């Protein structure tokens, strides 16, 4: 690119004069490009379609079905004994709470920074939300967690590793153990991530994952529940709707675990189909490669963001071996909302889409606790109130090349330049 473009965003030469408009960089790829469906997955899906056996259970299935094979492969991937394939992560969270015995009116602690399906799952049960505050690093505020747990008497925490920011899991687990609070880990953005060497999702009683298109494996809709506990797995299998064919689950607990529940558990019809499972299983083989690409792009973009004035990427704990499928950064305290808004608009006009949690109205996939007016808990969260208005969030596609990352950073640098100049002018 031209000399002019290279000097963009630095405090180099004076701005070009009005009759010599500056050539701005533009990102032309689609930022929300999903992870590609591998050819092997397409072939498997076609085979399932030809067989007509899209429903996972049957009296005579002719061998292990795709859903069961996927469950075994998934449990192996995340290092848990059991996996149950569900129709979404929101439903997996609902079933996890049901399996743990949550009933209407119970209090459930929930990260104040999470996506709308999480409070949605709590509402689905008819339980009562107790929102827990977040820190500047988008992780749970341990003091607030302890205070809210003691105050409310809640015995369960849904811990969302929102946008892949892994909470200090040893500290959260130690505190929850002391308080007698069980943990469901919401791993929608942390499939493949590790905390201090252990797979994220192995700290709670149950972990829930998503295969919605913009997570780490893609089947449009889908969810997986994972646990080491035989009784919880059996309960989840029955609740998901296995009829009396629960033994066809890919990681089925022993028959005697089902004896007390088989005739006393409702069927919520929240299964994954064989077609969805066929699309997913080959993606597990690709995931390590995709994670390496996401993280390479993340590090390049993160380094670039550090050179742009007024914004800073959120620092990560060295124990957080995250998956960089998106990046979050904060506007500096005191940056005028008009400049932040102009920055977002300028970037979008040049092909880089940023989700800003500080906009007047939540839009798209942004999700803010004060937007959930269906909740009974209307207390403010002071930490979230400090951080969310400054929070910006950008998707990273697995296909981004080093050149793409450079272009994105240039677009953002030029957008900030234009936004701040516009303000002065
Ligand atoms: C996407 C997401 C969910 C919900 O997943 P679905 O499969 O769409 O129900 C839950 N929690 C978090 C943090 C998410 O990002």
- The Å distance, Cα 144 to ligand 1 centre, comes to 24
- Quick: pLDDT tens for 302-348: 999 999 999 999 999 999 999 999 999 999 999 999 999 999 999 99
Question: Using a 6 Å cutoff on CB, does residue 189 contact ligand 1?
Answer: yes
- The Å distance, Cα 147 to ligand 1 centre, comes to 27
Residue 154 structure tokens? 């809640």
- Quick: pLDDT tens for 89-147: 999 999 999 999 999 999 999 999 999 999 999 999 999 999 999 999 999 999 999 99
Task: Please state, in angstroms and rounded to a whole number, the distance separating the CA atoms of residues 139 and 384.
Answer: 10
Q: Is the pLDDT of residue 12 over 80?
A: no
Q: Is the pLDDT of residue 11 over 60?
A: no
Q: How would residue 7 be classed by pLDDT, with cut points 50, 70 and 90?
A: very low
Question: Using a 6 Å cutoff on CB, does residue 118 contact ligand 1?
Answer: yes
What number does the ligand 1 atom closest to the CA of 162 have? 13
- Minimum CA distance residue for ligand 1 atom 1: 188
Question: Using a 6 Å cutoff on CB, does residue 326 contact ligand 1?
Answer: no
Span of 75-84, 357-366, 372-381 with lowest mean pLDDT? 357-366
Q: Which residue, 231, 252, 209, 242, is CA-closest to 82?
A: 252
Q: Is the pLDDT of residue 1 over 50?
A: no
Mean of the per-residue pLDDT values for the chain?
Answer: 93
CA distances from 417 to 14, 340, 342, 353, 423 (A): 12, 11, 10, 17, 10
Q: How far apart are the first and last CA of the chain?
A: 28
- Quick: pLDDT tens for 352-376: 999 999 887 777 777 889 888 888 8
SS3 406: helix
Candidates 87, 89, 209: which one to mutate for ligand 1, based on the most atoms within 8 Å of Cβ? 89
Task: Please state, in angstroms and rounded to a whole number, the distance separating the CA atoms of residues 370 and 194.
Answer: 30
Residue 164 is classified by DSSP as G
Q: How far is CA 308 from the centre of its chain?
A: 26
Span of 9-13, 178-182, 222-226 with lowest mean pLDDT? 9-13
Task: Please state, in angstroms and rounded to a whole number, the distance separating the CA atoms of residues 415 and 343.
Answer: 5
Residue 137 structure tokens? 């690093």
The overall longest dimension of the chain from CA atoms, in Å, is 82
Strand order in the sheet with 206-210: 82-86, 223-227, 206-210, 182-186, 156-160, 107-111, 128-132
Candidates 215, 364, 372: which one to mutate for ligand 1, based on the most atoms within 8 Å of Cβ? 215
pLDDT at 342: 96
User: Can you point out the beta strands (E) in 279-390?
Assistant: 311-313, 320-321, 326-331, 355-356
Candidates 86, 88, 90: which one to mutate for ligand 1, based on the most atoms within 8 Å of Cβ? 90
pLDDT at 28: 96
User: Can you point out the beta strands (E) in 114-222?
Assistant: 128-132, 156-160, 182-186, 194-195, 198-199, 206-210
pTM value surpassing 0.85: yes
Q: Across residues 43-71, what is the average pLDDT?
A: 93
Q: Dihedral, CA atoms, 197, 323, 131, 266, nearest 10 degrees?
A: -90
Q: How would residue 377 be classed by pLDDT, with cut points 50, 70 and 90?
A: confident
Task: Please state, in angstroms and rounded to a whole number, the distance separating the CA atoms of residues 257 and 253.
Answer: 7
Q: Which residue, 325, 302, 304, is CA-closest to 396?
A: 325
- The Å distance, Cα 61 to ligand 1 centre, comes to 31
Q: Are strands 156-160 and 182-186 parallel, antiparallel or unpaired?
A: parallel
Per residue, what are the HEC states of 236-282? HHHHHHCCCCHHHCCCCCCHHHHCCCCCCCCCCCCECCHHHHHHHHH
Q: Across residues 48-62, what is the average pLDDT?
A: 90
């Amino acid at each position: 690119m031209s000399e002019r473009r290279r000097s963009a965003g630095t405090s180099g030469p004076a701005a070009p004069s009005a009759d010599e408009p500056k050539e701005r960089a533009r990102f032309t790829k689609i930022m929300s490009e999903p992870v590609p469906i591998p050819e092997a997955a397409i072939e498997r899906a076609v085979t399932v379609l030809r067989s007509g056996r899209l429903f996972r259970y049957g009296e005579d299935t002719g061998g292990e079905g795709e859903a069961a094979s996927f469950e075994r492969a998934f449990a192996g991937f995340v290092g848990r004994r059991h996996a149950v394939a569900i129709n979404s992560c929101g439903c997996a969270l609902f079933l996890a709470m049901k399996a743990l015995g949550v009933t209407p009116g119970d209090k459930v602690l929930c990260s104040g920074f999470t996506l709308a399906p999480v409070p949605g799952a709590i509402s689905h049960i008819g339980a009562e939300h107790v929102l827990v505050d977040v820190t500047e690093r988008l992780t749970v505020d341990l003091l607030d967690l302890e205070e809210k747990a003691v105050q409310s008497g809640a015995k369960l925490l849904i811990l969302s590793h929102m946008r892949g920011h892994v909470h200090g899991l040893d500290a959260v687990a130690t505190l929850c153990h002391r308080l007698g609070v069980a943990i469901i880990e919401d791993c929608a953005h942390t499939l493949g991530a590790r905390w201090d060497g252990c797979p994220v999702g192995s700290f709670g009683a149950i972990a829930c994952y998503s295969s919605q298109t913009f997570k780490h494996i893609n089947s449009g809709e889908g969810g997986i529940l994972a646990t080491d506990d035989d009784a919880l797995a059996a309960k989840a299998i029955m609740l998901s709707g296995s009829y009396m064919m629960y033994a066809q689950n890919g990681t089925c607990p022993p028959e005697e675990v089902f004896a007390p529940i088989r005739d006393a558990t409702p069927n919520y019809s929240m299964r994954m189909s064989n077609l969805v499972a066929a699309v997913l299983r080959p993606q597990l083989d690709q995931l390590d490669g995709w994670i390496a690409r996401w993280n390479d792009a993340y590090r390049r973009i993160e380094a670039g963001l550090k050179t742009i004035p007024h914004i800073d990427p959120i620092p990560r704990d060295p124990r957080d071996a995250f998956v960089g499928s998106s990046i979050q950064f904060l506007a500096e305290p005191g940056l005028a909302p008009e400049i932040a808004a102009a920055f977002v608009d300028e970037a979008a006009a040049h092909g880089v889409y940023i989700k800003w949690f500080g906009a007047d109205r939540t839009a798209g996939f942004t999700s803010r606790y004060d937007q959930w007016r269906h909740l009974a808990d209307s207390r403010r969260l002071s930490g979230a109130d400090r951080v969310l208005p400054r929070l910006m969030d950008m998707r990273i596609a697995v296909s981004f090349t080093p050149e793409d990352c450079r272009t994105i950073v240039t677009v953002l640098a030029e957008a900030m330049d234009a936004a701040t100049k516009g303000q002065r002018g």
